[in-house]
Structure 1
Amino acid sequence: MATSSKFTKDIDVTTCPICLEEFKRPKCLPCLHNFCETCLNSYIITAFKSESKSKVRKSKFNCPVCREQVTPPDPTVAHQEWAKQFRLNHVIVSLMDQNKLKAKQKLCDPCKSMNDDVTAVIWCHDCNEALCEMCANAHKKLKVSKDHDLKNIDELEDTPVITSVQSCENHDGKNVEAFCKDHNQPCCATCVAIHHRKCDHVITLKEAANGILESKEISDLLERLKSTSDLNQDIIKKKRENIKMLEDKKLDIQKELQETRHRIMDSFDKIQSSFMQKLTQKHNQKVKELTDSISDIENRNK
């Protein structure tokens, strides 16, 4: 849990690289870069302004960050609809909800929508909203929300928020409520009524989730995750050993350099001492010769 908190603190993964503001409906591209749906849509429309000059209809666009070519799930539809096709990144939505919980002043989301700043005390996991005491009481009374999972915000500050509601990718403001086994995709009530009314196997999300934890796919996934985790732990252990080895090597080099310096200084001191001794002898010899010469000249002068 602490790792998640540190990660969100050290690296701002909730900021759109296009508008440089907090994500609004973050959409994830196959290259794993994320953008606000509206920002991505504007980028695609701008990129396609040159299409009118070309007779060939484009079916791809470049990622705004890594420039990798991206093909939308259905390139046959108008490019103005491409951004809606990419999956909503629920991990980032959860991180933004968690950051909202960690804010110094937590405001009630329903009250804030009415331009009224009221401190929130409750978090609804189903709606992913912060609620003040009055809104929380109303939440419990409403038929559609009386069974929602409500928690005290102070209890959630050190725990990650898991987004329990998935928004429909085709219909804004609608939550996923069912699962179509024929098309293997979640859908909202509108999707069921329009696109899946002829499907034979449309079930509730609860029915779709029954037994999923015991399924072979989940078992295989957990096994792969454990194997990957063990491998990562081995890599971390080896890298820490490498760090320790580098630290030891650094200390050895420092020690060797210090010893070499002392040896060089000792040798230099000996050379200097010998040189000074010879210099003194030579100096005294020359001074004596000159002094004797001066005495001789003085005697002659007398």
Structure 2
Amino acid sequence: MAAATASVRKVLNQIEKDFLTCVICFERYKKPKSLPCLHTFCEQCLLTLVENQGVLNCPTCKASCPLPHGGVRALKNNIFITGVIEDFQARVKGEQKPAAMCESCQEKDAVMRCVECSQYLCQPCVKIHKNIAVTRSHQILPIGELSVTKSNDTDNMTNKSVHCNVHPDKEVRFYCDTCQVPVCTDCTIVNHRIPRHVHRDLNTAADEYLANIKSKILSKMELKNRDVESRYKASTHTCSLLQEKDKEAGKQLKNRAEMVKQQVRRDEEELRAEIREHYDFQVKDVDANISEIEMELDMISSTLSYLKKLMSHGNAAQLLSTKQETTQQIERILSSESVRPFQAEIVHFKPTEKDMPVHQMLGQLISDVHISRCKVENIPKQVLKGEVIDLLVTTDSTGKISRCMEISVAP
């Protein structure tokens, strides 16, 4: 019995979560209102929504819902959901009080319940219930084995009486074909009077509508549903394909970028090595040039120092004793060609331009040309005035950087 009760309670909780909960406040519906798109929400939730947004768009499907005269409160009540909530509350209450009193004899605890009559019965009254011709075919279940999902319970739930919105103390018993709303007896006299309004028995109209749904509407809706599902699958497949292609293109871009980075690093290393080789070579030359100038400077300095000392501290004999050597040394110094300063060849790094080829992605090296480092070849023995000649000029002693110059001899 306890296991069955727990099972029923679990089913009831699941129904409340999936069917009786407003998606705005996440609580059980209070005054459920139905929108034209058939989605249902609490009246107060819709009032707050309209107050904040100024318009009413369905929170579930985003459909625009024009408000009737009277606003949210004039929207149709969802009497189906209201009925389910009432039945649900009754069932939960019954689950909370399994030891209910027999509703037939009012003397003993109930152990069974008649699904059709919605009566709790004790064991003796169950036998009486089954012996009466009218109730003999009724389904009677133990209290702990009641299930809100059984078809008979559903039929019983949907057949519960519904009261009129205009006349709350009256049950709706008719259907107005003119206004397409269920009405009570008072409505047929006051607001839905014949002959302007055509109404008929509520159950007859419901049976006809149910038969129409089963024979025509359901098949069309199912066909439409399959079509939409097919288009949904096609769109989701397209979405997946786009995401896959996005990843694929991103991967290709990453691989290409990595390859370019590696090429750039190789180019950087090559250019850096070329720059270093160029300047290392020149540093050696300038070092040699500096050594030569130092030697010349030392010679001049030592000679000057000797002359100054001799002039300041030497006597006549001492001054004339080295006249010949001193004179020769001075003449050598003054007549010798001084070592010229080293003319550096500067290499500039020129960044690549937009139209540069891929192998020059970073840039290229451009050097200055100094006459002192140039070698001219193909010089003719005789040149006439105004004649244009081509000379081969090598601008680097290593022979790595060469240019051809066109020289015009001035007339």
TM bucket, shorter chain = 0.5 to 0.7
Change in CA separation of 1:251 and 1:269 when aligned onto 2, cut-off 3 Å: same
Shift of 1:185: 4.1
Deviation track 1:101-132 (CA, whole Å, cap 9, x = no partner) reads: xxxxxxxx9xxxxxxxxxxxxxx45x765214
1:89 aligned to 78, 94, 111, which one?
A: 78
Q: Give the percent of matched residue pairs that are identical in Structure 1 and Structure 2.
A: 21
Return the alpha-carbon distance in structure 1 between the equivalents of residues 49 and 269 of structure 2. 78
**Alignment check: 8 A CA contact 2:34 2:78 kept:** yes
Compute the displacement of 1:220 (Å): 1.9
CA shift at 1:293, angstroms?
Answer: 1.7
The alignment status of 1:179 with 2:141, answered yes or no, reads no
The answer as to whether partners of 1:28 and 1:88 remain within 8 angstroms in 2 is: yes
Matches within 5 A, 1:50-65: 64-65=55-56
C-alpha displacement at 1:257, in angstroms? 0.8
Letter in 2 for 1:86: L
- 1:131 alignment partner in structure 2: 93
Q: Does 1:268 align with 2:264?
A: yes
1:250 lines up with 2:246 in the alignment: yes
Contact 1:14–1:23, Cα closer than 8 Å, also in 2: no
Post-superposition Cα deviations, 1:200-250, rounded to whole Å, max 9, x if no partner, equal 975463x5544654x345422112211220121112111121122112211
Structure 2 residue 287 is matched with structure 1 residue 291: yes
Q: Which of 231, 234, 239 is 1:235 aligned to?
A: 231
Counterpart-to-counterpart distance in 1, 2:97 and 2:193:
36
How many Å apart are 1:155 and its aligned residue? 6.2
Q: Distance in 2 between matches of 1:201 and 1:26?
A: 26
The equivalences for 1:188-267 within 5 A come to 188=184, 203=201, 205=203, 208-210=205-207, 212-213=209-210, 215-267=211-263
Aligned counterpart, 2:275: 279
**Counterpart for residue 51 of structure 1:** none
Q: For 1:231 and 1:149, how far apart are their aligned partners in 2?
A: 44
Task: Give yes or no for contact 1:167–1:173 (8 Å, CA) kept in 2.
Answer: yes
Residue 61 of structure 2 is aligned to residue 70 of structure 1: no
Aligned to 2:307: none
Deviations 1:48-102 (A, max 9, x none): xxxxxxxxxxxxxx97435975344xxxxxx5xx7665311357658x95xxxxx
Specify the code of the residue in structure 1 equivalent to 2:238. N
Q: C-alpha deviations, 1:121-154, integer Å up to 9, x for none?
A: xxx45x7652144756548627974289998699
Deviations 1:150-180 (A, max 9, x none): 98699669xxx9773445322347654x334
Q: Would you say the 8 A contact 2:182–2:202 is kept in 1?
A: no
In structure 2, distance between residues paired with 1:134 and 1:193? 43
CA shift, 1:26, in A, is 2.4
> What is the RMSD of the two structures over their aligned residues, measured on CA atoms?
5.1
CA distance in 1: counterparts of 2:47 and 2:265, whole angstroms: 76
Does residue 27 (structure 1) correspond to residue 33 (structure 2)? The answer is: yes
Measure the CA separation in 2 of the matches of 1:238 and 1:295.
84
Q: Separation in 1 of the partners of 2:270 and 2:191? A: 101
Distance 1:156 1:285, change over 3 A: farther
Secondary structure of the residue aligned to 1:273 is helix
Alignment match of 1:170 (pick from 155, 158, 166): 166
Q: Which AA in structure 2 matches 1:269?
A: R
Q: Which has the higher contact order (CA 8 A, sep 6+)?
A: 1
How many residue pairs are counted as aligned between the two chains? 234
1:27 aligned partner, one-letter code: K
- What's the TM-score once normalised by structure 1's chain length? 0.55
Q: Paired residue for 2:384? A: none
Question: Cα 1:223–1:287, aligned 2, differ >3 Å: closer, same or farther?
Answer: same
Q: Distance in 2 between matches of 1:226 and 1:298?
A: 104
Distance change (3 Å), C-alpha of 1:173 and 1:38: farther
Preserved contact between residue 29 and residue 70 of structure 1 (Cα < 8 Å): no
The answer to whether the 8 Å contact 2:163/2:171 transfers is yes
The letter for the 2-side match of 1:267 is Q
| Cα distance in 2, alignment partners of residues 240 and 43 from structure 1 | 32
Q: Is the 8 A contact 1:87 1:169 kept in 2?
A: no
CA distance in 1, matches of 2:98, 2:189: 32
CA distance in 2, matches of 1:257, 1:42: 50
Deviation at 1:13, TM superposition (A): 3.9
TM-score, normalised to structure 2's length?
Answer: 0.42
| 1:180/1:202 contact within 8 Å kept | yes
Q: How far, CA to CA, are the matches of 2:250 and 2:268 in structure 1?
A: 26
Q: Deviations over 1:10-31 (max 9, x none)?
A: xx84447xxx986421233557
Q: Letter of the aligned partner of 2:251 in structure 1?
A: K
- Structure 2 contact 22–41 (Cα < 8 Å) conserved: no
- The 3-state SS of whatever aligns with 2:166 is coil
